[in-house]
Amino acid sequence: MKKMSVLILGAMVLTIANGCCLLQSNCVACGKENCACDCEPCRMQLDYVKCFDADKLLNDADEKTATSEADAQEVKKAEVNQTVQQAVNATKAESQKVHVKAIPSYVEFVLVANSLRGAADIKEQPEKTITMIFTEKDGQVIVAGCSGVNRYFGNAAITKESNEVKFDKMGSTMMMGPGMEVEKLFLQTLEKVAKYSVVDDKLSFMNANGEILAVFQLKK
């Protein structure tokens, strides 16, 4: 029975009879052991066509299949991660839409305990509750309230569509009392406010980076 070998010439696969066969210990063409298809008879007969071990061809095919499967799994994993991230972004966007509300006017808000950023580290707290109320006069929004010791007042430029707010032309009375450091912190915080959100009965103020600076609650 003739020995068969798998040969590759360019992109063509040739099977020839009586050629070199690396599946055996001796070359069929020249009789030498492990000639690696580089012997004179092989070159003359096949114009220096190299034989390839059939097992190696099969192993290469298996490796390519395994690589393709691994690549497919990575692609699927990336698609799942992308889907999850899109869901998170959609939820976040929907949550932000809920916050696009106007700040209620002519109602009093009181500062939620320990919500003023940095105030918890101050030992002496004011005796009076910090409050805030918005009113309107001649098309201008006015903000006023108690800052812990004194009464404060000023203007508020509010852009509902983008949840932006800016306090300016702020002033206050000049009384002295316990909690002056917290009061000073509160008035300085108003200068840093850039955005707001209204959720249920809570009014939150944030800086330009979205960090919460203070939270007020509708007075019961």
Alpha helices in 29-168 (DSSP H): 40-46, 54-98
C-beta separation of 19 from 29 below 8 A: yes
Residues 113, 214 within the same domain: yes
Three-state DSSP class for 7? strand
Residue 84 lies in a domain: no
C-beta separation of 165 from 159 below 8 A: yes
**162 DSSP 8-state letter:** G
What tokens were used for 196?
């707001």
Torsion angle of alpha carbons 146, 147, 150, 153, nearest 10°? -70
Residues 44, 121 within the same domain: no
Question: Cα-flanking dihedrals φ and ψ of residue 176, to 5°?
Answer: -110, 155
Residues of the chain with pLDDT under 70: 1-62, 64, 66, 80, 83-84, 87-100
| Structural domain span for residue 116 | 108-218
CA distance linking residue 202 with residue 122, whole number of Å: 24
Residue 81 lies in a domain: no
Q: Read off the pTM.
A: 0.56
Residues 212, 137 within the same domain: yes
CA distance linking residue 94 with residue 89, whole number of Å: 9
Residue 43 lies in a domain: yes
Q: How many domains does the chain have?
A: 2
Domain finish residue from 29, 52, 75: 52
What tokens were used for 127?
């005796």
CA distance linking residue 130 with residue 172, whole number of Å: 13
Residues 45, 138 within the same domain: no
Cβ-Cβ contacts under 8 Å for 97 (sequence gap 6 or more): none
